[in-house]
Structures are given as structure tokens and as C-alpha cells.
């Protein structure tokens, strides 16, 4: 059954693959982005998927943005919290701004998007929320105290909210990707990337579409018994 889906950070990388896979699954999709207008325009041209610009770090902007999407496409029933950033630094060099920016986007951004949507999902008795966390929220990663804290927070949020939504037909789940071949990972120096790949048992980076397939399954009507769970998709790099 086709529903209205909103993917944050859907203009590039994993989010773009998720938006396209949801469209192919028959959903009507809106993709948001933070500021790269060129990438967003290119994405809309190539896919026909509408893009909307606002920062997930800004609560009021999320509320207004959601209202805009719903006026255009109808009530949003599927939310994929995918927008995310890194501001890596060894902890002794990490600035308060680096800490705040990552928490504001990767953790508070999930609250800011989910909170204004929640009452409508409860009223209508159906909802699917999927948050893209990270392997580094599960295992921690040197140089990413900010990112690991935010992504681990996303998992706690998911488990708590799953309990609140369970009787209202709302499922809340998370996906923890390992290293996926997107601009975020390709920005890492090649030597470091080679070291990363050497730690992945399947011997390669993941593809954005491999994460998108997990999302399509979790948001389907058939996945109604799966809530509060985390899908780990990391090529065998880490088990919990
Ligand atoms: P990219 O950097 O390729 O894309 C990030 C997307 O998020 C872009 O669309 C960007 O918009 C948007 N975005 C960033 N900040 C904001 C903001 N404040 N408000 C709204 N949109 C914003 O990232 P990836 O595709 O690599 O990552 C997607 C998600 O997956 C992230 O949450 C990341 O932490 C997670 N992840 C990624 C892994 C990887 O290996 N790539 C591994 C594990 C998790 P714009 O282009 O306009 O800035």
C-alpha cells in the first residue's frame, strides 16, 4: 500500500537511496536537505522526488517543514530520520561547537522531526519511524565521542518510543549501518579507508541501497510486529 514518506537528508548518499527505494515500493516521497541546493535540485531532476530545505537541528523549522510537506502530499505516515553529520576530533581537541553541532543534528534532529509528527500518527493509528544510527553508536569510535554519543542516544530514543507507540499502530526502529560508500566515508583519507575495509569481514564497503532495502522492509505494513529493534548491517564488522 502506497503511503506518504518523509526522508530527512534524502538528497544524497544513504538518504537518496532510501528515498528512491521507497518511491519504487509505491510510496509518495519527500526528501529534505540541509543546504546543498545543487545536489537537491539534481536529485529532484533525476528522480522526480520533491525536496524541501530546512535544518533538522531547528525545532520550529521542522514543524513548519512538516506542515509544508503535508499540505503538498497529505499526512506523513513514514518518517526516516537519516540526516546526519560528522565533526570528528580527538576528545582533547574537540570544541564545544563540534560537540553541539553533532548532538543538535544527529540526536536532537531526531526529536525535532518525530515530535511534531507523533500526534498525527497516534490519531490515525498507524506510523513507521526508522532512524539511521551507526555502528559507531554501538561500539564507540575514537575521534567520534560526539557522533557515538548521538547515535547511541538514537537507539535509546527508539526503544523508549517503540513502547509508547506500540498500542497505537506505530513502530519505531533503528538501523546501524557499518561503513557505506557515500561522500561522508569517501571524504576520509584513502589510507584510512583502506584500513577500515581491512576490518570488514565481507571485504568491502556497504552500498547505500543495502541500507535502503532494510528501510523498505521495516516500513512495510507486514513489519508491524517489529518495533524497538535495531537492524545491524555492517558486513560482519561488529556483533551485539
Ligand atoms: P551524506 O553526508 O552523504 O548526506 C547527508 C544528508 O544529510 C544530506 O542530504 C545533507 O543535506 C543532510 N543534512 C545534513 N545536515 C542536515 C541538517 N542539519 N538538516 C537537514 N539535513 C541535513 O551522509 P550519509 O549518506 O553518509 O549518511 C546518512 C546517515 O547515515 C547519517 O545519519 C550518518 O550518520 C549515517 N551513517 C552513515 C554511514 C556511512 O558509512 N556513510 C555509516 C553509519 C551511519 P545537504 O547535502 O544539503 O547538506
Question: ipTM score of the complex?
Answer: 0.99
Please check the confidence at residue 1 and state whether its pLDDT lies above 90.
no
Please check the confidence at residue 240 and state whether its pLDDT lies above 90.
no
Residues in Cβ contact with 90 at an 8 Å cutoff, skipping those fewer than 6 apart: 142, 143
What's the gap in Å between 167 CA and the centre of ligand 1? 31
Ligand 1 pocket, 16 CB below 6 A? no
Ligand 1 pocket, 12 CB below 6 A? yes
- A 10 A CB-CB count for 88 gives 16
Mutate to test the pocket of ligand 1, among 7, 18, 34, 80 (most ligand atoms within 8 A of CB): 34
In a domain, 122, yes or no: yes
Ligand 1 pocket, 156 CB below 6 A? no
User: Mean pLDDT score of the chain, rounded to an integer?
Assistant: 97
Active site residue 59: no
In a domain, 38, yes or no: yes
Q: Calculate ∠ Cα 207-62-144, nearest 5°.
A: 50
In a domain, 212, yes or no: yes
What's the gap in Å between 105 CA and the centre of ligand 1? 10
Tens of pLDDT, residues 142-155: 999 999 999 999 99
Ligand 1 nearest atom to the CA of residue 211, by list position:
30
Please check the confidence at residue 115 and state whether its pLDDT lies above 90.
yes
Closest residue (by CA) to atom 2 of ligand 1? 184
Domain count, the chain: 1
For the domain that residue 157 is a member of, what is the CATH number? 3.40.50.720
Average pLDDT over residues 105-128: 98
Average pLDDT over residues 160-179: 98
CB-based contact 72:52 (threshold 8 Å): no
Ligand 1 pocket, 32 CB below 6 A? yes
What's the gap in Å between 191 CA and the centre of ligand 1? 22
Please check the confidence at residue 170 and state whether its pLDDT lies above 90.
yes
pLDDT at 185: 87
Please check the confidence at residue 228 and state whether its pLDDT lies above 90.
yes
Domain containing 12 equals 4-233
Grid look-up 526528501 returns: 31
Distance in angstroms (rounded) separating the CA atoms of residues 182 and 148 = 19
In a domain, 240, yes or no: no
In a domain, 216, yes or no: yes
In a domain, 15, yes or no: yes
DSSP per-residue string spanning 170-202: EEEEEEEE--BSSHHHHTS-HHHHHHHHHT-TT
In a domain, 238, yes or no: no
Tens of pLDDT, residues 129-143: 999 999 999 999 999
What's the gap in Å between 14 CA and the centre of ligand 1? 7
Closest residue (by CA) to atom 12 of ligand 1? 9
In a domain, 239, yes or no: no
HEC per residue, 127-139 = EEEEEECCHHHHH
| pLDDT bucket at 85, cuts 50 / 70 / 90 | very high
Mutate to test the pocket of ligand 1, among 36, 37, 43, 83 (most ligand atoms within 8 A of CB): 83
Q: Per the residue annotation, which of 33, 52, 59, 147 is the catalytic one?
A: 147
What's the gap in Å between 39 CA and the centre of ligand 1? 13
- A 10 A CB-CB count for 64 gives 13
Amino acid at each position: 500500500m502506497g503511503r506518504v514518506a518523509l526522508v530527512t537528508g534524502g538528497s544524497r548518499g544513504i538518504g537518496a537511496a532510501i528515498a528512491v527505494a521507497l518511491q519504487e515500493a509505491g510510496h509518495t516521497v519527500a526528501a529534505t536537505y540541509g543546504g546543498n541546493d545543487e545536489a537537491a535540485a539534481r536529485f529532484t531532476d533525476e528522480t522526480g522526488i520533491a525536496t524541501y530545505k530546512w535544518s533538522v537541528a531547528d525545532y520550529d523549522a521542522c514543524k513548519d517543514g512538516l506542515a509544508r510537506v503535508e499540505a503538498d502530499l497529505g499526512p506523513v505516515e513514514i518518517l526516516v530520520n537519516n540526516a546526519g553529520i560528522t565533526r570528528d576530533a580527538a576528545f582533547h581537541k574537540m570544541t564545544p561547537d563540534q560537540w553541539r553541532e553533532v548532538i543538535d543534528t544527529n540526536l536532537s534532529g531526531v526529536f525535532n522531526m518525530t515530535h511534531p509528527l507523533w500526534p498525527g500518527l497516534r490519531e490515525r493509528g498507524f506510523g513507521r519511524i526508522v532512524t539511521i544510527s551507526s555502528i559507531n553508536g554501538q561500539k564507540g569510535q575514537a575521534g567520534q565521542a560526539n557522533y557515538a554519543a548521538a547515535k547511541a542516544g538514537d537507539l535509546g530514543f527508539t526503544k523508549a518510543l517503540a513502547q509508547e507507540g506500540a498500542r497505537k499502530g506505530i513502530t519505531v526502529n533503528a538501523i546501524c549501518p557499518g561503513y557505506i560508500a557515500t561522500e561522508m566515508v569517501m571524504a576520509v583519507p584513502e589510507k584510512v579507508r583502506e584500513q577500515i575495509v581491512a576490518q570488514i569481514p565481507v571485504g568491502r564497503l556497504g552500498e547505500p541501497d543495502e541500507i535502503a532495502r532494510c528501510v523498505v522492509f521495516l516500513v512495510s505494513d507486514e513489519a508491524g510486529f517489529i518495533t524497538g529493534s535495531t537492524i545491524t548491517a555492517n558486513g560482519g564488522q561488529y556483533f551485539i
